[in-house]
Amino acid sequence: MPHSVPRRLRRSLLAVLTGVALTAGALATAAPAAAHPGSGGGPRDRAPLVVQTDGGAVQGSRPGDHRLFQGIPFAAAPVGDLRFRPPQPAPSWPGTLDATEPGSPCPQASSLTNPTSSTDEDCLYLNVTTPAGLDTHRRDLPVMVWIHGGSWRTGSGDRYDASKLALEGDVVVVTINYRLGPFGFLAQDDLSAAVGPEGSGSAGLLDQQAALRWVERNIEAFGGDERNVTIFGESAGASSVCAQLASPTARGLFDKAIAQSYSCTTEYATLDEAEAVGETVATTVGCTGDGPAVVECLQARPVADLLAAWPAGGGSFVVGGSSLPVQPADAIASGNWNRVPVVHGNLQDENTLFTPLSLPAAQLPTLLDPANYHAVLAQRFGARAGEVAALYPLAEYGSPLRVLAAIASDTGSALSTCEHVDAYEALDQRPRRDGVWAYQFRDQGADPLLDFSRPPFSFPAGLYEEGAQHAGELPYLFPGLFGNGLDAEQQALATTMVRYWTTFAATGNPNGRGVPAWHRYSDPSDVQGLDVASAGGIGPVDVAAEANCAFWDTFPAA
C-alpha cells in the first residue's frame, strides 16, 4: 500500500518534538583523507601521474594502489565581482599544475562538528581518485562524483578518502568543493537583478554543475567514462543530489544518483523567502539602500563579516530561478525531473545527533532524567501521550531525550524514516527501466560523529546511546573519516556497501555477484536493511512499520 505523510504535518511534528528545527548535514571534517598503504610500484602501476586536461597538464601522486589528483580548478576563483555570481570558466595554466595537495576549502567557520575554518574564496577545486593499475588506454570506468555534506555551510571534497571505492569498485571517484553559506546561497533582491534568470542564491547549485561539466570534458583522460556518471552525497550532499535531479540545467550531466540521509521530497525556501533573509544579512553587514550599490557593497564586505551575519539555521537551495524553478517534490510528482535510477536511504537513528544540539542546554538535565519521562510526553503530546508511550517505552530507550530523538528519527524532518518513505513512493514511477532502490543503515555499533559522553555534553552512560545516527555510515565508504575504525563485522558490511554502491554506479542496479539480493522499491517492506551479521545482517525490513508511520499519519498538526 502506498504510504504518505504530508510534509507540512511533518514540520509541525518536529516543532512539537524539539521546539527547534533540526538542521541536516552536520558532517565530520575530522581529518584530511588518509591514503591506504599499498605497493606503490610494479607492473600494474602503468597509469600516468601526468594527465592532460582542457586547462593544462596536472601531476598527481600514487600514495598506494591508487592515483590521487588534488586541487584541480574547475571554475574561476569567485572573488571580487564574481562573488555570488554563477561560476565562470577556470583560466588555463602554463606547464604542469602540481596536483598533489588539495585546494582551499570554501569559506566556513569552525564549530562543534566542524574543526575547519577558512576565509579563502578561491576554493572551486576538485579531486580525482583512480586505481593505480589502470591501463593507459582504458577510458571506460564508471565515474562517481561525491558532493559533501555539512549543513550547506561547512566541508570540502578533500576530506574524503575515496580509495576504497576506487579500488574495490573499479571506479573513478571525483570529490568536489562548492560555495557554502552566504557565498553559495545568499539571495537578495538587488543581487537577483544583477545575476539574472538564474536568481541569486543559486551559486552553490551551479558550482556543482560546473564540476559535472568539467567531468564531462575531462574524465576520459583519467580513465573514466563521461557517459556513465553517478552523483552521490550525504546529508546536505544528498540534498544537493535531490536538487540536481530537479534542476533543468543539470539535465544530461549524470546518469544515476545516490542520496544518503536527506529526503528528495523536502521543500526549500522560495526566492521571495530567501531574499527576505538576504535583506537582513545585507543590513547586518551595512549594505543598505537599493540598486547596484548594494551589490557592490556585498561583494566588498570581508568574508568574516558575511559568515558572522549568516543565520544560525543557515540556508540552502533556493527555488524560483531558472536552475531550480520548482520544488523537487513538485518536479518529481509531475514526472518532469532528470529521470535516472536512484539509490535513496537513511539511518535508523538519524536525529540522535541533532536532538541535543537543537534544545536549550538548560533543558537537557530534565530530559536525561528517566523520572521525567511521563511529564515530558504529556507536555509534548497532551492527551495522546499514552499512545506515544506505548510505542516508545522508556525501558527500551533509557531517557526522555532518547525517546524524543527516536521520534524525531522516525518522523518530522528531512532525515526521518517516514519522510524518506514518502520520497521512495514519489520516485517509484513505473513503468520505467529506472527506479528507486531504498536502504536503511542500521548498525547500532557505528561510531558517532559526536560522543555525547564527553564535554561539552558529558551525558551519563546508558542514558543517550548513539545508535545508527546521522553520518554513521560514512566511514564504511570513506575509511578514517571519523571514529575509531571498523571491526571485522563492520568491515564485512563496508565491503558489501561499497560493492552495492559501485555496482549501481556501473549498471544502474546495486545487485551483483556475492551480495544479498536487493529488491527494487515497491513498498516499505522492500527497504534494504544494512547491518552487521550478528544483529541481523543485510536484508529487507519494513521501515514504515518500525517507524510507526501509520500512527504519525493520524497525529494532528500543531
CATH (domain of 436)? 3.40.50.1820
pLDDT at 33 over 50: no
CB neighbour class for 556 (10 Å; exposed up to 12, middle 13-18, buried from 19): exposed
Count other C-beta atoms under 10 Å from residue 94's C-beta.
7
Which of the two residues, 10 and 378, has the higher pLDDT score? 378
Q: Which residue has the cell 520548482?
A: 326
Catalytic residue from among 66, 148, 344, 470: 470
Q: Is residue 8 part of a domain?
A: no
pLDDT score at 111: 85
257 inside domain? no
pLDDT at 35 over 50: no
Q: Are residues 292 and 353 in the same domain?
A: no
Q: What is the pLDDT confidence band of residue 30, given thresholds at 50, 70 and 90?
A: very low
Task: Print the domain residue range for 299.
Answer: 27-234+269-315
DSSP β-ladder status, 256-260 and 269-270: unpaired
Catalytic, out of 104, 235, 239, 413? 235
SS (H, E, C) 459-508: CCCCCCCCCCCCCCCHHHHCCCCCCCCCCHHHHHHHHHHHHHHHHHHHHC
Does one domain contain both 220 and 275?
A: yes
Residues 304, 355 share a domain: no
Given 198, 275, 279, 350, the catalytic residue: 350
Same domain, 361 and 440: yes
Cell of 306: 558575511
Same domain, 200 and 298: yes
Structurally, the chain folds into a number of domains equal to: 2
Residue 338 lies in a domain: no
The answer, as to whether pTM is greater than 0.95, is no
Domain co-membership, 278 together with 393 = no
Residues 452, 396, single domain; the answer is yes
- At 558, the pLDDT band (50, 70, 90 cuts) reads very low
Mutual angle of helices 203-218 and 236-246, in 10-degree steps? 80
Residues 37 and 110 in one domain: yes
- What is the Cα–Cα distance from 379 to 433, expressed in whole angstroms? 49
Is a pLDDT exceeding 70 seen at residue 160? yes
Encode pLDDT of 61-91 as tens digits.
999 999 999 999 999 999 999 999 999 999 9
The pLDDT score that the predictor gives to residue 46 is 63
Active site residue 416: no
**Catalytic: 235?**
yes
- Evaluate whether residue 144 is within a structural domain: yes
What are all long-range contacts of 427-435, with beta carbons under 8 Å and residues at least 24 apart? Answer: 427/264, 427/332, 427/342, 427/344, 427/521, 428/521, 428/522, 429/332, 429/335, 429/339, 432/339, 433/341, 433/508, 434/339, 434/340, 434/341, 434/342, 434/508, 435/341, 435/342, 435/520, 435/521
**Residue 416 sits in the same domain as residue 464:** yes
Rounded to an integer, the average pLDDT of 393-419 is: 96
Question: Is 123 within 8 Å of 161 (Cβ atoms)?
Answer: no
- Together in a domain, 310 and 348: no
Residues 353 and 441 in one domain: yes
355 and 429 part of one domain: yes
Handedness of CA 174, 489, 503, 243 (dihedral sign): negative
Q: How many CB atoms lie within 10 A of CB 388?
A: 20
What strand order describes the sheet that includes 50-53? 50-53, 56-59, 96-98
Q: Is residue 258 part of a domain?
A: no
Last residue of a domain, one of 295, 315, 335: 315
